[in-house]
Amino acid sequence: MYYNKKDYYYKRAKREHYLSRAAYKLLEMNKRYHIIRRGMKVLDVGCAPGGWSQVALNAVGRKGLVVGFDIEKVELNAPNFRFVQGDLFQDETWNSAFEIAKGPFQVILSDAAPKTTGIAFKDVSRSLEMCSEVIRRASKHLVHGGWCVLKVFEGEGFAEFKKELKEVFLKVKIYKPIASRTMSRETYLILQGFTGRDDGA
């Protein structure tokens, strides 16, 4: 992704040693909604370059665990961080994360986004496809009552997707962090109280 070096959050991330400006989006959302807390197990989907994982690590503390996966390698050294290199749509990737955590997570984060084409309906469709995959996997990988945060591009199909989410989460909120670029189509879905697990976990 191209970063404007005059961007306030780009400069701030460099100064405060975050691996991406996106870290401030999660910091803002977590401060408002208290999504990630001490001792939690957190899965960071599409975690490269690692900014969200850094925020999650600070939030869970030493007794928590953050597992991140991405098709791109992430260089982040922390005793309670584990990285899996793999694709969002592959069983092996999810299974590896599940095995590391020895069970489901309290929080699933996804700042994953498709490589944009500039064709709005294609970009929105691909974004929704990625988010839908995360939610499909939540039946195994997210505890009952758990949280999920998804980045999604707004457009055709977004309203229907949001409606589907209300069937498996108690609360569904749309949030646009201050750190998001003004012209960006991205927004975030903050999902609380997962009800979709059927195994009593």
Task: State how far the Cα of 23 lies from the Cα of 15, in Å rounded to an integer.
Answer: 13
The yes-or-no answer on residue 5 being catalytic is: no
Smallest Cα–Cα separation from 104: which of 67, 135, 148, 141?
Answer: 141
SS (H, E, C) 25-37: HHHHHHHHHCCCC
User: Out of 41, 151, 163, 171, which one is annotated catalytic?
Assistant: 151
Distance of alpha carbon 136 from alpha carbon 66, whole angstroms: 20
Element (H, E) at 106: strand 105-110
Burial class for 34, CB neighbours closer than 10 Å (0-12, 13-18, 19+): exposed
SS3 content of the chain, % helix, strand, coil (to 5): 35, 25, 40
Amino acid at site 127: S
Report, as residue numbers or ranges, the catalytic residues. 151
